[in-house]
Structure 1
């Protein structure tokens, strides 16, 4: 592959490589790193956690050393991380990587993170219990039809599309007005305008045509994880007084099923069988959701199964070459 990285940087702020679990994202990313001066930003809500290596299929130490990686091993499992934090961190890394004259390659399967980075976060203020209590008190005094009339004074566009009896949405629209000083309709219009801007990124999507192929890869991955010591990894996590089954880290696919099986007191082959069966089933469901998310986003599709034979497909050149 003969690509001019300066031309890529002039056209794209970043390039993304997204796909469902076990679709071959890491292999393609490392193959691209051998062809281009790039750095990888992980788009994975599980890889951010330290000490969770086997169950997340984290890149090996050799793979991590072969090309700079970011947003891997940045938090302890008891900490939480949001899409808003990801967007902030990813944008900072994108700018720093570009300043070094290298291409930011965002790789992962957490589609919510991709969507937040591409479309922007919801600009509406978060719910405020105090404001809602005030609005409830006013509604109890004058009634919701009168509250709807108040909304029509400050945000006629939103009021027009809401029925006077739609109390929940009327309350939310008035809450947004109280908190931001702006009509909800204006905030929605601004967010839509941002989404309609010319894309500053190129998103590559690994989408296997053969679902059975992906299911087989998922099952193989779980067998390999188990053989590599996944149960021991989960048992080590369980020794921490800060961790419990309700944390986002422990609710990651695989960890959740192992944690629940251990909580139930299962041992030996019964433990192994339940973790594998339920973990594989949950991962297949996750992959289905990931593909659904992907298909809602503009992207260049790569046949995942074909990459097993040719890590960097010839058509990739045309996808990345600026028009």
Structure 2
């Protein structure tokens, strides 16, 4: 059976750095669990592994798709299962910030076909949550009232399948691999400082120019790839001929990091906490080696 070392943590916490260290130390390949890094055309705003990283360690699901291709949690789960099926005794590192993607393979979600294009008119996020609470109060309790993306996803599942999301989750199959979870911890103030600095770095990487090239495609606004944090803000600055609101992107990213931290705390059973400030890398490496050698 395959073994997976799963690395989770908020954005800008250093997950990718740890994944590279462990991949080299343990001679493992990295599976990318990020909803956006798979797209070739977007780079500046999503903190992809560097070209040097990609040369040194084999990565899966990086630059494999065009922004016009379909990529979602169902596709991710299908591709992961295929990779495992074709390499039944191989071990990997899974690393990425899309916690729902990771949860889907840990719990082996039963992902029947749903209408992913279902829209809800001009309903506000609060109205959407109230609708979810009316249909499936158990599921509504699990989702922050401001998390529009997860609320819509739950409603699409309920309305497409005529089945409560909370009941559907209870029917998920068991995990098809063994795994341990490493959570990367960074003190909150330092994390926010890293987020703020990284946003500025992204702007300096010609993020605006990248989006200017992308909007030449008339289908730009319909691409799921451009739902990554900040892309719409850069787009709005371009079409309104104003400066990019850097502080707004920084705030959105900090809010996203908060949601990631909450998810990890409530959803994942973490085996190891990596804290660079506490210099516990050797402990993390030892536990990973012990796990792989079991």
Q: Are 2:3 and 2:177, in contact at CA under 8 Å, matched by a contact in 1? A: no
Q: Which runs of 5+ in 1 are unaligned?
A: 1-9, 128-171, 178-183
2: distance between equivalents of 1:111 and 1:216?
22
Structure 1 residue 263 and structure 2 residue 239: aligned? yes
- TM superposition shift of 1:96: 3.9
- 2:283 is paired with a residue of what secondary structure? coil
Partner of 1:121: 109
Partner of 2:22: 32
Structure 1 residue 106 and structure 2 residue 94: aligned? yes
Q: Are 2:74 and 2:111, in contact at CA under 8 Å, matched by a contact in 1? A: no
Partner of 2:223: 247
- TM superposition shift of 1:31: 0.9
TM-score normalised by L of structure 2: 0.74
- 2:183 is paired with a residue of what secondary structure? strand
Superimposed CA distance per residue, residues 62-106 of structure 1 (whole angstroms, 9 cap, x where no aligned partner): 11010111101122113332211101111222344555xx52111
TM-score normalised by L of structure 1: 0.68
Question: Quick one: structure 1 residues 298 and 232, their matched pair in 2 at CA, closer, same or farther if it must change by over 3 Å?
Answer: same
Superimposed CA distance per residue, residues 146-184 of structure 1 (whole angstroms, 9 cap, x where no aligned partner): xxxxxxxxxxxxxxxxxxxxxxxxxx79x769xxxxxx9
Partner of 1:146: none
Question: Quick one: structure 1 residues 81 and 189, their matched pair in 2 at CA, closer, same or farther if it must change by over 3 Å?
Answer: closer
2: distance between equivalents of 1:231 and 1:72?
22
Partner of 2:182: 204
- 2:77 is paired with a residue of what secondary structure? helix
Structure 1 residue 288 and structure 2 residue 273: aligned? no
1: distance between equivalents of 2:112 and 2:40?
33
1: distance between equivalents of 2:264 and 2:4?
17
Q: Which moved more, 1:29-38 or 1:110-119?
A: 29-38
> Max radius of gyration: which structure?
1
Match of 1:92 among 79, 82, 101: 82
Match of 1:215 among 184, 188, 192: 192
Match of 1:41 among 28, 31, 45: 31
Partner of 1:22: 12
1: distance between equivalents of 2:13 and 2:38?
20
- TM superposition shift of 1:205: 1.3
Q: Which runs of 5+ in 2 are unaligned?
A: 116-157
- 2:182 is paired with a residue of what secondary structure? strand
2: distance between equivalents of 1:281 and 1:227?
18
Indicate the RMSD between aligned Cα atoms, in angstroms.
3.1
Q: Are 1:41 and 1:93, in contact at CA under 8 Å, matched by a contact in 2? A: no
Question: Quick one: structure 1 residues 253 and 277, their matched pair in 2 at CA, closer, same or farther if it must change by over 3 Å?
Answer: same
Partner of 1:277: 247
Question: Quick one: structure 1 residues 122 and 16, their matched pair in 2 at CA, closer, same or farther if it must change by over 3 Å?
Answer: same
Partner of 1:306: 277
